[in-house]
Amino acid sequence: MPVKIRLQRQGRKFQSIYSIVVADSRAPRDGKFIESLGKYNPNTNPATIVLDFNRALEWLQKGAQPTDTCRAILSYKGVLYKKHLLEGVKKGAFDEAEAEKRFQSWMTEKEQKIQAKRDRIKQSKEKLQKSRLEVEAKVKEDRAAEIAKKRSELLEAEREETAQSETEAAAVEEARTEVTEETKVEEPAAEAKAEEPAAEAKAEEPAAETKTEEPTAETDTEEPAAEAETEEVESPKDKEAQEKEGK
């Protein structure tokens, strides 16, 4: 039965993680498996790999064939290199101590490379974060300067408005004082003008009395004249009466 070391998909959409399993090559990808060897999470940088080193080495020695991704994972963790050293020991090229020594030196070098990569990633993240903070600080400074400018403009406008209102209030007060002074000056003149018509009225009252008296006098003079005319009118009649009586 052909056996493969492959990945079995798990996790959610766009955040998938994988199990490293030993399964029959005829089984579906997410179907039954013989044994689980570890976990592989490609969402982190560097990728997180949890592997049972000894069990993976045993399955390789038994003839299990890894897929391309699993081969890269096993090479990354040193399983394939350990299998190669053990085959050299079987062939008599070197003993197990030398194989273990070579494997440990390789693992140390590999760990150093991994740590250097982690440090680079960390430094790049810190640098990126620092640049972002600088950009944010610059944006905040520009925003604060703009706000301060707007505030100064508003304060200047308020000062101008207050100064204008004060000048307007002063002008209004000045106009009021002028009006009050004019009214104070006009009041005595109005009183004098009011007194003059009163004096003229008093002066006209005797003149009116004299005028009223003159017509009465004229009427008195006219009454005797009217009597005389009546007498003149009556005299011819009297004469005729006298003549009749004489006859």
**Going by DSSP bridges, is the β-strand pair 15-24/35-41 parallel, antiparallel, or unpaired?**
antiparallel
Separation CA 151–CA 153 (nearest Å): 5
Residue pair 23/4 in contact by the 8 Å Cβ criterion = yes
Q: Would you say residue 81 lies in a domain?
A: yes
Q: Assess if residue 178 is contained within a domain.
A: no
In a domain? residue 47:
yes
Residue 62 lies in a domain: yes
Query: What's the CATH number where 38 sits?
Result: 3.30.1320.10
43 within domain boundaries: yes
**pLDDT tens readout for residues 10-25:** 888 888 999 999 999 8
Nearest Cα neighbor of 63 from 5, 103, 21 is: 5
183 falls within a domain: no
pLDDT, tens digit, 9 for 90 and up, residues 18-56? 999 999 988 888 888 999 999 999 998 888 999 999 999
Q: CA–CA separation, 247 vs 235, rounded Å?
A: 19
**Is pTM, for the whole model, over 0.75?**
no
Cα–Cα distance between 51 and 14 in angstroms, integer? 23
Structural domains counted in the chain: 1
Q: Is residue 95 part of a domain?
A: yes
Q: Higher pLDDT residue, 52 or 187? A: 52
Domain limits for position 24:
3-133
